[in-house]
Structure 1
């Protein structure tokens, strides 16, 4: 298997001569030919120079492993290996084409999920605030505040998505992909602050109450929150299958999932505070608020990781390494590969090694082709390909610290 260590070189070795995914002419191209935009017709079907297929198991072999005692983990490992090898051997054009087809097929369902969630959350925030105000229940107040912020979150995500697509590239050269990430972080802090107020108010109610009188049971409020619970469940089911198609839908799905337990628990504690013990209602509000703070805290942490440049998954790094090392016979080695988040998508850096006598035009054109191929892969925002003639130099982009 191809190693993804960024500090060591990956050499093509003897199998390199068996395949080339890109054809670069040996003569300088004429002025009317743009070698940087060579069409897919210049590519040949990728072979398997490293015999990766030999490491694949059949479905029957995996099923046999799964039936063994403690064999499920081994079977799962080989299933992942099969998927990885299949991805490595698949031409880069196929990765791109499949992603585009999947995006086209999901465009309408994603739009339905976004707009239906926006409209539903507006109606539900009105219903749930009515339930909270009319009943005086702190648990229902916590669910109502969450509903208001759900609608606000949907509006913010919708606006940021539109804004990101229309940013002036002269003022914002890297685009607006990080706007949604920044918006989620800001919104998470606002959500946490409001729920802290709910916690303080509920604690004050518990401390200052001096009798065991129960609040009047308010049936319309219970019905209103039950309706909200049912609508959220339907939205949750609809967004479940689409959460991998769009970052917006993923956030909406998480929101609907959280609202299921928030509304359900709030409904239970509000009714309990009216029928059994008065303190169940404020305690329910405290628990709901703490749950919302924890959930949004995890979201903020994950969004911070994306902005801070978290590394891409191991399988994605291996895909880039393999595609780079088998891209052309002119590439002798792959020195360094890095892929890291800059928002929801990846920035990819690849350092390749070519013969020192390679003409400048050929080195430039081949690296440009590789960069273009990588940039159209799913989840890649930008790619940078650097060409060198040896691997003994100090790694690029490293500041020397003099001691």
Structure 2
């Protein structure tokens, strides 16, 4: 039998905090509506021709998913279970006909216990706990990661040889792209190792920001490298003597290029079938991008040789370089904004406000909800108003429980809850924020 202590112990909370969280969760406000009934079904959504109308309903469905995620977290807590023990994704299953339905044939100990306790239909919660999907064995996940790394090295060496042998700038751009795949894998590997080495004295809130920092380093390297390819390609295109140089693309070189595309395609499809690893899913996306990139970098030199127009090859390299630079500049700027404290989206704030609104009947008002990025996830500050006569112990327990519940949200890194007895006051920290960078 699984006890409440075991269910919530994975959060690292003290026994008193776990008991307080489970107890306060019984006093939440009921959901204002059954959000699942308000969703636009996918088949109806596909029939909408008006682009703006379709985007409206897609956004509405996304917000319904966010609100249902909050409902699901609170439903787990009312059952004295840890939401994160069911995987990282808490998004509700909106494909089912009923919000209380669950996949058949997969029953956990908690589900069995709930059924045994004889929950009646009228007491049925709005959302039942999501069940784990069957994950791929760890050795297959590790094999996919290692094999992808080896293939990237082999493809880089192959393309580098073909680029110097044929003189193709498009193949050289593709070789750079393969090299940067190897480099990105190495950066991710070492970044994860650094993050896992915890030091609560030197890094009291962890090292999670090392990951976006690693992405920034990689983005700078990749944009710099492709800028050099772009400059070299423009020089070749504008130099008449170099632009007319014939490419030497032998059948063997062509076969190697095609084999690279096929190999990447196989890895792409294989990684898509692997479940339970975000790293492998990221690799699958990378392999899919590589397939498109390799096809483009092969077509340009082939057309240049077939049509007797060698100038097409540097044109292809220029287009590929501009595409890669533009894509990674977007990634670079996004991560810089997040590391420098960019505000959360309006949808994020709505979701967090809904959590604070529903959390306890003791909360008289939600005064302020402030959220901003500290890396990939959010730092959240919530000000709630409690009755002036609320005992200190009860007020503390409500604030601490709300903080713990907010930190269970998938997009929240840390949360701080400020308790007040009135909403009539100045905005907190405004003086400090306005003084930053300008002295005192």
Quick check: TM above 0.5? Answer: yes
| Unaligned segments of structure 1, at least 5 residues | 1-32
Q: Deviations over 1:35-79 (max 9, x none)?
A: 433166534385626x3238934778x867876886756764664
Q: Deviations over 1:289-323 (max 9, x none)?
A: 22211121121122223213333344443332222
User: 1:386 maps to which residue?
Assistant: 418
Q: Which residue among 74, 93, 96 is the counterpart of 2:84?
A: 96
Alignment of 1:137-286 (within 5 A): 137-210=168-241, 212=244, 214-240=246-272, 246=278, 248-249=279-280, 251-275=282-306, 276-286=308-318
Q: Deviations over 1:329-369 (max 9, x none)?
A: 32221111122221112211111111223222222222112
CA distance in structure 1 between the partners assigned to 2:403 and 2:137 by the alignment: 27
3-state SS of the aligned residue for 1:331? coil
Q: Is 1:330–1:354's contact at 8 Å kept on the other side of the alignment?
A: yes
Instruction: Please provide the CA RMSD for this pair.
Output: 3.4
CA distance in structure 2 between the partners assigned to 1:107 and 1:388 by the alignment: 49
Q: Which residue among 400, 422, 433 is the counterpart of 1:368?
A: 400
- Flag the 1:58–1:278 CA change in 2: closer, same or farther, 3 A: closer
3-state SS of the aligned residue for 2:34? helix
- Flag the 1:105–1:196 CA change in 2: closer, same or farther, 3 A: same
**Displacement after TM superposition at 1:141 (Å):** 1.0
Q: Give aligned pairs, total.
A: 368
User: 2:34 maps to which residue?
Assistant: 53
3-state SS of the aligned residue for 1:210? helix
**Displacement after TM superposition at 1:242 (Å):** 7.2
Q: Which residue among 135, 139, 161 is the counterpart of 1:105?
A: 135
Q: Deviations over 1:159-201 (max 9, x none)?
A: 1011111142211222111111111111111111111221222
CA distance in structure 2 between the partners assigned to 1:55 and 1:104 by the alignment: 25
Residue 38 (1) aligns with residue 19 (2)? yes
**Displacement after TM superposition at 1:144 (Å):** 0.8
User: 2:107 maps to which residue?
Assistant: none
CA distance in structure 2 between the partners assigned to 1:210 and 1:75 by the alignment: 57
- Flag the 1:146–1:35 CA change in 2: closer, same or farther, 3 A: same
Greater shift after overlay, 81-90 or 357-366? 81-90
Q: Is 2:27–2:360's contact at 8 Å kept on the other side of the alignment?
A: no
**Displacement after TM superposition at 1:274 (Å):** 2.3
Larger RCO: Structure 1 or Structure 2 (Cα < 8 Å, ≥ 6 residues apart)?
A: 1
Q: Deviations over 1:84-131 (max 9, x none)?
A: 553343343635344356599378475454333222212211222122
CA distance in structure 2 between the partners assigned to 1:139 and 1:79 by the alignment: 42
User: 2:8 maps to which residue?
Assistant: none
- Flag the 1:85–1:138 CA change in 2: closer, same or farther, 3 A: closer
- Flag the 1:160–1:367 CA change in 2: closer, same or farther, 3 A: same
